[in-house]
A and B are shown apart, each in its own frame.
Chain A
Amino acid sequence: MREPGAARAAGAMRTDVILFVTTFFASAVEAVEALTIALGVGVVRGWRSTLVGVVAATIVLAAIVAALGPVLRLIPIGTLRFVVGALLLPFGLQWLRKAVLRASGYKPVHDEGAAFAREREQASAASGRGPRMDWYAFTAAFKGVFLEGLEVIFIVVTFGSTQRQLGLTAAAAAAAVVLVVAIGVVVRGPLERVPENALKYAVGVLLTSFGIFWGGEGAGVEWPGSDFAVLGIIGFLGLVSFVLTRRLRRELALKPATARA
């Protein structure tokens, strides 16, 4: 028979793995979006100003992380879990809601190829290409990397701080960003091969589940099975969203074409 201490350690280990995987995929989704913008702008307007924008955004993001990190350690863990869970839950639920609508056909599927083409078109239509610095390329790249990077920071900080595993979540995000950038450098085009919508669906389930788990814990809930409860929540939400998607898909298929248009 297993000792309670060993069982607890196995539970914590499993939570760490889920934490890593969730942070990795959530960060990868954001990195794909940032890279799509940077590639689109870079291909049309040139790489120099685009890369300066990317580097500037990365420096600002690093400063934000440096300022946020020490403050988080001073907040009591219960309060932190409640705040993080309460913020993560509506965010994750929005992802999941959109993912279900896309998967069932009620919303158009997000197309990275189209996003890349749109970005390229806007970039070539814009004026302001100067001899030294192309401010359009700089601003577009900066904005894209900064906004998507902020979301990655939010994910890393919230996931890392509630489990006191900032190093682990930062490593997961860094691995995701490096991998996505490496793919981007290799393909040098739209990242259509990354199944972003399927990824968003899975990440939506994971973010919502962790939001429920931490938010509940912060509100005073004692979860049956302790850390293992998060697996039950993931399974439950996965099942609910799967059944919902199938039902909606069937209903849409039965609708007359005129009603669907």
Chain B
Amino acid sequence: MRYIRSFGLFWWDYIVGDDWRVAAGLALAFGLTWLLAHNGIAAWWLLPLAVAVLLVGSVRRESRSGG
């Protein structure tokens, strides 16, 4: 049981880390990209833009709370 728990914690830390909003935003961006691409709409711009927005937002939140 302890191993399952630590295995789960490892993956939680690996994917979600310090900011769950980033992981949720990435999941949303992937979903949107898949939807656009499979409906014949150019979606190459979406992921880079989403990552930039998520990075800025997350760093800003951290700097305001800890800075």
Chain A interfacial positions (CB closer than 8 Å to B): 86-87, 89-91, 93-94, 96-97, 100-101, 104, 106-107, 208, 212, 215-216, 219-224, 229, 233, 236-237, 240-241, 244, 248, 251-252, 255, 259-260
Asked whether any CB of chain A lies closer than 8 Å to the CB of B43, the reply is yes
Determine whether the beta carbon of B17 is less than 8 Å from that of A106: no
Determine whether the beta carbon of A248 is less than 8 Å from that of B59: yes
Determine whether the beta carbon of B26 is less than 8 Å from that of A101: no
Determine whether the beta carbon of B55 is less than 8 Å from that of A241: yes
Determine whether the beta carbon of A229 is less than 8 Å from that of B67: no
Bound complex: CA A22 to CA B58 (Å): 24
Determine whether the beta carbon of B19 is less than 8 Å from that of A97: yes
Q: List 25 A-B contacts (CB under 8 A).
A: A86-B26, A90-B22, A90-B26, A91-B15, A93-B22, A97-B19, A97-B55, A97-B59, A100-B55, A106-B66, A212-B51, A215-B30, A215-B33, A216-B33, A216-B44, A219-B43, A220-B34, A220-B38, A220-B43, A222-B42, A237-B48, A237-B52, A240-B56, A252-B67, A259-B67
Chain B interfacial positions (CB closer than 8 Å to A): 14-19, 22-23, 26, 30, 33-34, 37-38, 42-44, 47-48, 51-52, 54-56, 58-59, 62-63, 66-67
Bound complex: CA A236 to CA B16 (Å): 24
Determine whether the beta carbon of A86 is less than 8 Å from that of B30: yes
Interface of B is mostly: helix
Determine whether the beta carbon of A90 is less than 8 Å from that of B23: yes
Given A97-B58, A106-B67, A248-B59: A219 in contact with B30 (beta carbons within 8 A): yes
